[in-house]
Amino acid sequence: MSASRYDCIVIGGGHNGLTCAAYLARAGRSVLVLEAGEEVGGAARTREFAPGYKVSAVAHLLHLMPPSLPHELGLARHGLKMAAERMSTIALSGGPVALTIDCAGLRAPEGLSASDAGSYLRYRARMQRLARALRPVLEAPPPRLGSRDWRDRLALLELGVRMRLLGRTDMRELLRIGGMCVQDLLDEHFESELLKGALAFDAVLGTNFGPRSPGTVFTLLYRMAAGSAAGDSLAQPVGGLGALCEALARAARAAGASIRTGTPVKRVLVRDDRAAGVMLESGEDFEAGCVISSADPRTTFLGLLGAEHLDAGFVRRLNHLRSHGMAAKVHLALDRAPSFRGVETQPPAGRLVLAPSQMAIERAFNHAKYGEFSAAPMLEIVLPTAADPALAPPGKHVLSAVVQYAPYRLAAGWEGERQRFLDLILGTLETCAPGLRDSVVAAELLTPADIEAQFRISGGHWHHAELALDQFFMVRPVAGAARYRAPVGGLYLCGAGCHPGGGVMGVAGRNAARQILKEAA
Ligand SMILES: Cc1cc2nc3c(=O)[nH]c(=O)nc-3n(C[C@H](O)[C@H](O)[C@H](O)COP(=O)(O)OP(=O)(O)OC[C@H]3O[C@@H](n4cnc5c(N)ncnc54)[C@H](O)[C@@H]3O)c2cc1C
């Protein structure tokens, strides 16, 4: 083998690209990962945003990765440690009342709703049963529709059997609620607006939906299905999400993969209608038996491959792929620990959610429908330094918040509006943690447009492409590329844009590797 020829070239060293590379290398393939950035990790990277203050730059919570994956790759041996596990969710009201949701159930102040605590346990038990039935769907490549291959037929049959095993009552409930909006579901179960807001928030986080959008029970079940595989636990690695990717990179290297950073790929090279290698922006090229891209589908097919290699119908489907992001990120360097109203432990060790009611979320979403940011945005807040003080100088803190809703295309343009948006977010935080504003020594705002520019995710979308019923499973990202395989031979996808979607899960990368190995067998 010449130095510039590999069995597999992986474009992008985000967590999915690294996972895919590690599985392929462990199966004996020669693998080269080419990452455009100066570090691996993609949107799961830790970086310094102010002198001495580090933060998980985009994704900040680990809760979707199935335990089998770190176990199979030996990530603990490669340095992965958790700073916090089984983190609770604390629903902030913006006032003196907060409620805590964790594995044990619901802890609400006296009088919030006497009946909701019991309802919550029943609701969660049923949703978890439904989510568990869906979980195997995430962990395998989708079967081909209309195929006569026995493996596709068996996969469809297994899916049917799993649904049947739910029993009549749960199966009927899944059919009833599957396409519903989450607001209707939560209104059936609960009284407390604060509780309903916090639960609805998880259905819409990272999406272009509000609680009244059809299909949001599906997005909630998706999150629970992936999350239940991870043991229903929100976690924070020591050193942030970047430490997970460093461990993945070590695992891939230990298995024999080569990883190069600062090497943006310009083109996928096609020979005899097959992907035959890649050319870097520097002009250097590499040959490969197959090319696997963890870049988003639009970048992969229209940017790196080129529409000239695809049929018109496929290009039309790609052009219709919904992939504009709606979530922004804010990082604050704080010179002291903030104190949140209604929260017992300061600084809070859990995940704080400011989504005080379903109405508040829907109102926040209304602005975004018309290309505006929310006047009262919804927030997911983490204080990573509560569990991992080394992320900031001694005694100082970092606040990391996902801000929902911030449209990728702001009608007024982000450049002139970013300071106003940041001020609005700081004002919102101040109502929850009085005095916080005075403790801010540095602030960073990443809009979806910034995420596109800095992390090479076109549209800056959480999942690389909207996760919705019409862009899921056998049609993710689009029909014709649903089983990690591109219409051009030798080219595969392995990132968040393919099945089962995004979040720091690694399953797309592992599924893609398994599919490639199966095809070669
Ligand atoms: C605001 C926000 C908050 C989020 N928070 C969470 C969270 O808390 N928890 C969670 O689980 N998920 C979260 N997510 C989602 C999560 O970050 C992503 O779904 C996930 O990181 C995608 O991983 P990936 O490996 O598929 O792709 P990426 O992380 O996007 O990696 C792709 C890699 O490919 C590289 N690349 C692209 N083009 C080229 C090229 N031409 N040449 C070479 N390299 C290239 C990129 O530089 C990048 O490193 C969040 C997303 C957003 C937007």
Q: Whose CA is nearest to atom 35 of ligand 1?
A: 12
Number of the ligand 1 atom closest to the C-alpha atom of 494: 26
CATH of the domain at 247: 3.50.50.60
Asked whether residue 112 carries a pLDDT value surpassing 80, the answer given is: no
Q: Is 439 left (phi over 0), alpha (psi -120 to 50) or beta?
A: alpha
Confidence category of residue 143, pLDDT binned at 50, 70, 90: confident
Mean pLDDT of 76-99: 95
The tokens describing 91, both together, are: 């629903």
Q: Give the residue, out of 259, 291, 294, with the most ligand 1 atoms within 8 A of its beta carbon, to mutate for a pocket test.
A: 294
Asked whether residue 147 carries a pLDDT value surpassing 90, the answer given is: no
Asked whether residue 203 carries a pLDDT value surpassing 60, the answer given is: yes
Asked whether residue 3 carries a pLDDT value surpassing 60, the answer given is: no
pTM for this entry: 0.96
Q: Whose CA is nearest to atom 10 of ligand 1?
A: 503
158: number of Cβ within 10 Å: 14
Note the pLDDT of residue 67: 93
Asked whether residue 145 carries a pLDDT value surpassing 90, the answer given is: no
Tell which wins on pLDDT, 245 or 349.
Answer: 245
Range in 144-158, 265-279, 402-416 with the lowest mean pLDDT: 144-158
User: What string of DSSP letters covers 415-439?
Assistant: HHHHHHHHHHHHHHHHHHSTTTGGG
Mean pLDDT of 384-404: 98
Note the pLDDT of residue 105: 85
Note the pLDDT of residue 232: 60
> Is the residue at 456 inside a domain?
no
> Is the residue at 385 inside a domain?
no
> Is the residue at 495 inside a domain?
yes
Q: Ligand 1 centroid to 95 CA: how many Å?
A: 34
What percent of the chain shows pLDDT beyond 70? 98
Q: Ligand 1 centroid to 495 CA: how many Å?
A: 8
What average pLDDT is seen over the chain?
A: 94
> Is the residue at 255 inside a domain?
yes
Pairing of strands 258-260, 31-34: parallel
> Is the residue at 444 inside a domain?
no
Asked whether residue 228 carries a pLDDT value surpassing 90, the answer given is: no
Q: Where are the alpha helices (DSSP H) in 351-495?
A: 358-369, 414-432, 448-455
Cβ atoms of residues 245 and 7 within 8 Å: no
Confidence category of residue 1, pLDDT binned at 50, 70, 90: very low
Q: Whose CA is nearest to atom 32 of ligand 1?
A: 14
User: What string of DSSP letters covers 143-168?
Assistant: PPTT---HHHHHHHHHHHHHHHHT-H
Number of the ligand 1 atom closest to the C-alpha atom of 505: 11
Q: Ligand 1 centroid to 502 CA: how many Å?
A: 8
> Is the residue at 14 inside a domain?
yes
Confidence category of residue 346, pLDDT binned at 50, 70, 90: confident
Q: How many domains, in total, are found in the chain?
A: 1
What percent of the chain shows pLDDT beyond 90? 84
> Is the residue at 313 inside a domain?
yes
Q: Ligand 1 centroid to 457 CA: how many Å?
A: 7
Q: Ligand 1 centroid to 456 CA: how many Å?
A: 8
> Is the residue at 153 inside a domain?
no
Q: Ligand 1 centroid to 418 CA: how many Å?
A: 22
Mean pLDDT of 279-288: 98
Q: Which residues line ligand 1 (CB under 6 A)?
A: 11-17, 34-37, 42-44, 58-61, 64, 206, 264-265, 294-295, 299, 304, 325, 327, 329, 402, 451, 455-457, 462-463, 495-496, 502-504
Q: Whose CA is nearest to atom 4 of ligand 1?
A: 59
Provide the residue range defining the domain that includes 16: 5-47+60-83+237-322+464-520
Per-residue pLDDT tens digits for 489-508: 999 999 999 999 999 999 99
Per-residue pLDDT tens digits for 447-458: 999 999 999 999
